[in-house]
Amino acid sequence: MSNVRALLRLPATARPGEVVEVRLLLQHPMETGFRPDAGGRTVPRNILRRIEARFEGELVFAADLFPAITANPFLAFPLRATRSGTLVVGIEGDNGVSQRETATLTVA
């Protein structure tokens, strides 16, 4: 089950050794499990817990998220362009959320 809309952005090309910025915007409500609804019942917890980015299988970024993170989180991190390849971002969360997003970087 996946209810996350992920927008993964990085430049399509880079020079060897150049540091590029990877941007990830996630559309997700990030419910803490502490907020009451209109009827006074607690809204069940529903957060994204782990984000991992791997470039050609090598871990280049990881983040553990907690209930204090805002809805629709935006993450950005640097990546040194040493070779061409594929960046795979894994998103895991509550309620069976497990999603992968990919982007290709060409170093020339």
Tens digits of per-residue pLDDT, 2-45? 579 999 999 999 999 999 999 999 999 999 999 999 999 999 99
Q: What is the pLDDT of residue 3?
A: 73
**Are the C-beta atoms of residues 105 and 78 closer than 8 Å to each other?**
no
Answer whether residue 1 shows pLDDT above 90.
no
H or E element: which one contains 4?
none
- The domains located in the chain, with CATH, are 5-35+43-107 (2.60.40.10)
Residue 48, burial from CB neighbour count under 10 angstroms (0-12, 13-18, 19+): buried
Has residue 102 got a pLDDT over 60?
yes
Q: Read off the DSSP letter of residue 54.
A: E
Q: Which of 57, 55, 33 is nearest to 44 (CA)?
A: 33
Task: Say what the pLDDT of residue 2 is.
Answer: 54
